[in-house]
Amino acid sequence: MATNTPNLECRMYEAKYPEVDMAVMIQVKNIADMGAYVSLLEYNNIEGMILFSELSRRRIRSVSSLIKVGRIEPVMVLRVDKEKGYIDLSKRRVSDEEIEACEERYNKSKLVHSIMRHVAETMQVDLEDLYIHVGWPLYRKYGHAFEAFKLIVADPDSVLNSFTREIKEVGPDGQEVTKVVPAMSEDVKVALLKNIRRRMTAQPLKIRADIEMKCFQFDGVLHIKEAMRKAEAAGNNDCPVKIKLVAPPLYVLTTQTLDKEQGISVLNNAIKACTEAIESEKGKLTVKEAPRAVSEREDKLLPENMPNPNEEVSGEEVSEEEDTGMGEIDLENTATGITE
């Protein structure tokens, strides 16, 4: 499969052209007198055209409001002339259901294509050859290569070992013979598995909630620490809960999970346990931000914006001398009955 100058351009699907009445993903390249010229992204950017009359069912007041250079969107295939390479497309005839299905298919195909192209580039193999012997057979057998890639993450051999290719060799007698070999070399297979696992393995979501917690009672710090322990105890092996002090009286609860709904539910239970614990000591808990999935950037945004933020510390590390929302009370003097 290796060549000195491997081809890295290839369509995503085995068919060279889309079928009539099929929704395809396009990118607008330029706007001419009669319509817009576009590239069909799933078919190696072959050219198609959308006439202005196919932009909208309504009267067109402004073409620029309906179509813009660079925009990516689904359209319907009206006509395909394979001999001349003409493809006529329509924006106004594609339904909402077809748009949704096209976007879902394209997003899966784009991920598959990205993995395939990266393997071809790093292993110096021809991308179309890789599609012919691996990618397109996976599409045929599993409906979409994306579905096959999901299976490969768990059990690669059962999916990939069934694919072979025929090569011709000259035998000892000088006669040409046909030999059946694996569809790809072991090196290419290892590279493909590595890329599939890296890109397809589900990543844990970070779920976060922001609360304010105060307790003005004697030994309020201890009551807050106990409430924090109750919150963390509400977690489980799949969704361990951590609660940290950001800056008095602000605390953050977090968990990581593959199941977003489960993570939100666990944090809600943690907040409930924390609330019950602190209110039993006449303290108060206010939810500032309900549990939600956050990115790493969002997770860091709050402490960065705090005026004089303290370093985050866990529930076991809050010192008893630290001001954690008990106002100006001097714990040491209060304990001995001394006031200023």
pLDDT at 336: 35
Mean pLDDT to the nearest integer, 250-277: 94
Residue reference for tokens 């924006």: 91
Q: Give the residue-averaged pLDDT of 299-327.
A: 47
Q: What is the pLDDT of residue 325?
A: 41
Residue 259 within a domain: yes
Residue located via tokens 């666990």: 266
Question: What pLDDT does residue 190 have?
Answer: 94
CATH number at residue 121: 1.10.150.190
Q: Examine the fold and report which residue of 178, 200, 222 is the final residue of a domain before the chain moves on.
A: 200
pLDDT tier at 340, thresholds 50, 70, 90: very low
Domain assignment present for residue 91? The answer is no
- Asked if residue 287 and residue 255 are part of one domain, the reply reads yes
Same domain, 211 and 318: yes
Residue 19 backbone phi and psi in degrees, to 5: -85, 155
Residues 194 and 288 in one domain: no
| Whether 166 and 225 share a structural domain | no
Query: What pLDDT score does 298 carry?
Result: 65
Say what the pLDDT of residue 177 is: 83
**Domain count across the chain:** 2
Half-sphere exposure (Cβ direction) of 243: Cα atoms closer than 13 Å: 31
Q: Which residue has the higher pLDDT, 195 or 59?
A: 195
- What's the chain's average pLDDT? 85
Asked if 131 and 179 sit in the same domain, the reply is yes
CA distances from 31 to 66, 70, 180, 285 (A): 12, 11, 50, 59
Which of 136, 169, 200 is the C-terminal boundary of a domain?
A: 200
Q: How much is the pLDDT for 107? A: 94
One domain, residues 158 and 231: no
- Rounded to an integer, the average pLDDT of 164-188 is 85
Q: Is the pLDDT of residue 328 over 50?
A: no
Please check whether residue 293 lies inside any domain of the structure.
Answer: yes
Looking at the structure, tell me whether residues 266 and 155 fall in a common domain: no
Looking at residue 326, its pLDDT comes to 38
**Can you give the pLDDT at residue 65?**
74
Do 155 and 224 fall into the same domain? Answer: no
pLDDT at 57: 75
* Distance in angstroms (rounded) separating the CA atoms of residues 125 and 6: 5
Residues 221 and 245 in one domain: yes
CATH of the domain at 241: 3.30.70.1130
Q: Which domain holds residue 174?
A: 102-200
Question: Among candidates 3, 1, 2, 10, which has minimal Cα distance to 117?
Answer: 10
Q: Which of 177, 200, 223 is the last residue of a domain?
A: 200
pLDDT band at 273 (very low <50, low <70, confident <90, very high): very high
Domain assignment present for residue 87? The answer is no
Two tokens at 242? 């951590």
Q: Is residue 143 part of a domain?
A: yes
User: From the CA atom positions of the chain, what is the Rg in Å?
Assistant: 30
The reply to whether 81 falls in a domain is: no
pTM of the model: 0.62
Residue 286 clears pLDDT 80, i.e. is over it? yes
Q: Pairing relation of β-strands 205-214 and 164-170?
A: unpaired
Are residues 307 and 194 located together in one domain of the fold? no
Question: Is residue 45, in this structure, part of any structural domain at all?
Answer: no
Q: What count of residues does the chain have?
A: 340
Q: Residues 175, 138: one domain?
A: yes
Helix H or strand E segment including 196: helix 186-200
In a domain, 333, yes or no: no
